[in-house]
Amino acid sequence: MNNSLLRRFSEVNRELWIILSLLLVSLCLNYMATSMLTEHRMVLSFYMLPTVLSAYFYGRRHAVLTAFASIFVVVLLMHINRGMFAGSSSDLGGLQKWFDLSVWGGILVITAYAMGTLYEKNKRRVRELRETYNGVLLILRQFISKDKYTQNHSYRVSIYATKIAGAMGFDYERIEDVRAAALLHDIGKLDIPREILYKAAKLTREEYEEVRTHVEKGVSLLEPVGGSLRRVLPIILAHHDRFDGSGYHPTRGNEIPLEARIISVADAYDAITSDRPYRKAMSAFEAKEIICASAGKEFDPQVVEAFVVAFRRREMEVPDVVV
C-alpha cells in the first residue's frame, strides 16, 4: 500500500519534482559561480542534470519542458545577478557568454528530445512485451478451458493469490508474476487422465503418483515459451511444496519461493471451498480455520497472516465465473 501511495504521489507531482530540482541546482550552482568564480561552461553543464533525470523517469515531453525551464532559470539568474559569470575568461563584452548560453540551450533541448524519445521507445517495447505475454497467457488458458473445473479453479486461485500478495506489500510486477503462475499452476493436469482427476473414490498409490506428475508436466509444457514466462516456472514447480518439507519436493521454509507459498494457500483455500467428486465444499470460515491451523506445517505463517488480513477485508470472495 505504501509503494502504491508513493507511486501515485510521484505521478501527480512530476512537475513539482522538476521545479524543486531546478531550484536546488540553481541555488547550489549560483553560489558556486559567485563565490568561487567557477568557469560558466562547467556550471551550465550541471544544469543538464534535471533534464537528464526527467528524460529517464518521465519521457520526452517532460524532458523538453525541463530543458526550457532550465534555460529560463539560467537566463533569469544571469539577469538578476549580472556578475554571475564574471569570472569567465571568455566573457568578451558579454557576447561570448550569450553565444555560449545559446549553444548550450540548443544542445540541452536536443539532448532532452533524444533521451526522452529513447525512454518512450523503451517503455513502448516493454508494453508490447507485456501484451505479448498476456496473449500467451490467454492462449494457454484456452487449452485449460477444455477442463471447466481446472479453468475456474485457476481463475479463482489467481484472484486469491493476488489479494494475498497485495496484503504482503508486493509491487505491481511481482503481483503479476503471482497472477500468471496461479493461472497456469495446474496446466499440467491437461496431461492427466480425466478418470483419475474426477475419481470419486480414494486414489490408489499409482494414481496419486500420476497426479503428482502434473507439476513437472506443467513446467515442461511452459518451458519452451521462454521470455517473461520463464520467471514463473520455479513458482509453478514449487506450488505443492510444504513449509515443513513434507510436500512434493523436499524443499522447506524459505527455500520455497515466496510466490509459491502464496499460491499454496490460495490453492488450498479454493480446493476446500469447492465441491469435489469425493466431498462437498466447506464454508469459507471453515477453510480459514483449517489453513490457520496448518500455519508452520503445511503453510508459511507469514503468508497465512496475510491471508487472514485479506479474508477480513472480504477480498477472498470471488464469484464462480471465468473472465
Nearest to 14 by CA among 46, 47, 70, 61: 61
| Top-confidence residue, 95 or 253 | 253
Question: Residue 186 and residue 140: Cα distance in Å, rounded?
Answer: 11
Q: Rounded to a whole number, what is the distance in angstroms from the first to the last CA of the chain?
A: 26
Report pLDDT for 34: 47
Please write the tens of the pLDDT for every residue from 245-304. 999 999 999 999 999 999 999 999 999 998 877 778 899 999 999 999 999 999 999 999
Question: Residue 80 and residue 86: Cα distance in Å, rounded?
Answer: 13
Report pLDDT for 84: 54
Report pLDDT for 65: 81
For residue 22, give every residue at least 6 positions away whose Cβ sits within 8 Å of its Cβ, in sequence order, or none: 50, 66, 69, 70, 73
3-class state of residue 276 by DSSP: strand
Please write the tens of the pLDDT for every residue from 171-216. 988 998 899 899 888 888 878 887 887 777 788 888 888 888 988 8
Q: Which range, 27-31, 286-290, 315-319, is most confident?
A: 286-290
Question: Residue 97 and residue 91: Cα distance in Å, rounded?
Answer: 5
Report pLDDT for 146: 57
Decide: pTM greater than 0.85: no
Residue 33 has pLDDT above 50, yes or no: no
Instruction: For cell 517473461, name the residue.
Output: 228
Position 63, amino acid = A
> Do 74 and 101 meet the contact criterion of CB atoms below 8 Å apart?
yes
* Residue 62 pLDDT class (50, 70, 90 cuts): confident
Task: State which fold the 145-312 domain adopts.
Answer: Hypothetical protein af1432 (1.10.3210)
Report pLDDT for 90: 46
Mean per-residue pLDDT of the chain: 77
Question: Residue 298 and residue 131: Cα distance in Å, rounded?
Answer: 36
Would you list the domain boundaries of the chain? 11-125, 145-312
For residue 154, give every residue at least 6 positions away whose Cβ sits within 8 Å of its Cβ, in sequence order, or none: 141, 144, 182, 183, 184, 185, 186, 187
> Do 153 and 274 meet the contact criterion of CB atoms below 8 Å apart?
yes
* Residue 37 pLDDT class (50, 70, 90 cuts): very low
Nearest to 182 by CA among 154, 148, 151, 153: 154
Residue 321 has pLDDT above 70, yes or no: no
CB-neighbour burial class of residue 14 (10 A; exposed 0-12, middle 13-18, buried 19+): middle
Cα 238 to Cα 75, 186, 213, 220, distances in angstroms: 61, 12, 12, 14
Cα 261 to Cα 117, 189, 237, distances in angstroms: 41, 20, 11
Please write the tens of the pLDDT for every residue from 102-149. 777 787 788 778 777 877 777 777 776 666 666 666 655 655 555 556
Report pLDDT for 309: 96
* Residue 36 pLDDT class (50, 70, 90 cuts): very low
Nearest to 196 by CA among 204, 184, 186, 185: 204
3-class state of residue 314 by DSSP: coil
Q: State percent of the chain over pLDDT 70.
A: 68
